[in-house]
Each structure stands twice: as C-alpha cells, then as structure tokens.
Structure 1
C-alpha cells in the first residue's frame, strides 16, 4: 500500500535552523544541522535500499510560498507568504510503498526521533494512505 508520510514546521522552525532563534525555538548550530541531516539521510538510504521510498523531499520555508486564493467575483488572487492564518506548514514528505500500517508507522517513529537542539518543539509525523482508486469503488 502507498502512504504519504508528512512532517510539519513553521517559519520560526526554518528561522531557528538558520540560526535565528525565538521563544521556544532555540537557534540551531552547524552541529545540530549535521545531526539532523545525518539522521534523515540514514532513513532515506535505508528506504532506498528496501525499495519502499517512491519519492521524498524537504520543502522551502513558508515565506517562499505562493498561494492562489479566491478573490472578488471569483477571480484568482496570487499572494506570497508567510501567512498569519497558517502556523504550521508541510516541511517535508515521503511517498512510501509499505507492506503494512505497522511498517509505515515504524518508519514514522524513526522520523519523529530526529535530533534537534534542547528545547526545540517536536513536530508530529502524519501518515495518510494514498487512495489508489476512487473511494467507494
């Protein structure tokens, strides 16, 4: 079965990773970043070896987002980020093909254990099965 495994973050999290800390989000050091990158690289290498990863990427900071919303008269309005109404955004994802819910959960637990500086918030890891056919069919 295919799954989308998602990890979330905020603009403050991206800023902290770039050395700009804020309340509840200490600035990351180069050592912190290397530990995180090594952890994620290890997961990605293992998933490539097992053939379970179909795709995966980290995403740019929310302030680099482009959003298309509805405007007056149904016209599309294009805006850039960041957006006050959105506290957390998708920070990275994997599309995995796993044998079971248990296996994808095992992988998500490993992602969740990613090292971060003391006092940093820990993002939830969300797993969503990918529909391979229309619901109800």
Structure 2
C-alpha cells in the first residue's frame, strides 16, 4: 500500500532551533532516505519551496483568478513529503516516526487511494 508522509513545518519552531539541530535534521533525511531505499519502500520524495513563493488559483466566472502567496494563512505549512510503498498503515506510521522533523513538528500519514499513471 502506498502512503504519503506529509512533513509539516512550523517556521517559529524551526527558526528557534540551533544550527546544529537543523543540520541534524538535514543529515537525518539522507540517512532515512537510504534506509527506505534499501528496504524497497521508497517511491519518491520532494521538498517544497516556502509558501511565500506560491500562487493560489481559483476559477471565477470561467476565468482563473491568481492570488500570490499561500492557500491558507497558517502557522504551519506543507514543507515536503515522502511517498512510500509499505505493507501496512502501522509500518507507514513507524516510518513517519523516523523522519527527523517528527521531533519538532507533525508528520501526517495518508493512504493513497487513487493513482494515475503519468504515461497515460
């Protein structure tokens, strides 16, 4: 089964961490990635840009209306994700707990229920 492990970021917490701890998070991702590559559970991972660089598009009266900035004004934002293919929800939760950011913020575990092939 495939699961998205969604990494949420709280910039107040992140900015308050000493540089040493931030570097441990970064290096911890390399270790985690190698672990799930070796186990065959890694599908992909992506880190996302800060939401201040985003745009939100809504269609109104048949025309796109673009708003600069994030979709919602919140303290936390989606910073990235891992897509894993593992045996169970319990395993996905176990993997989420191994993501270094989990020490400081939340990792949301969501099962993938539909997947389209990019080649289609």
Count of aligned residue pairs for this structure pair: 114
Residue of structure 1 in register with 2:80 after alignment: 92
Structure 1 residues 43-89: Cα deviation after superposition (integer angstroms, max 9, x where no partner): 11101111101000111101011211133x23211222146x43132
| Distance (Å, rounded) in 1 between the aligned partners of 2:32 and 2:57 | 34
Residue of structure 2 in register with 1:107 after alignment: 95
* Gap runs ≥5 in structure 1: 116-121
In 2, are the aligned partners of 1:43 and 1:111 still within 8 Å (CA)? yes
Q: Does 1:48 align with 2:37?
A: yes
| Distance (Å, rounded) in 1 between the aligned partners of 2:18 and 2:40 | 33
Larger Rg: 1
TM-score under structure 2 length normalisation:
0.80
* Gap runs ≥5 in structure 2: 116-120
* Coordinate RMSD, CA, aligned: 2.3
Q: Does 1:35 align with 2:17?
A: no
More strand by share: 2
CA 1:132–1:67 in structure 2 vs 1: closer, same or farther (change >3 Å)?
Answer: closer
Residue of structure 2 in register with 1:7 after alignment: 7
Deviating 4+ runs (over 6 angstroms): none
Residue of structure 2 in register with 1:118 after alignment: none
Q: Could you say which structure has the greater relative contact order, defined with CA pairs below 8 angstroms and 6 or more residues apart?
A: 2
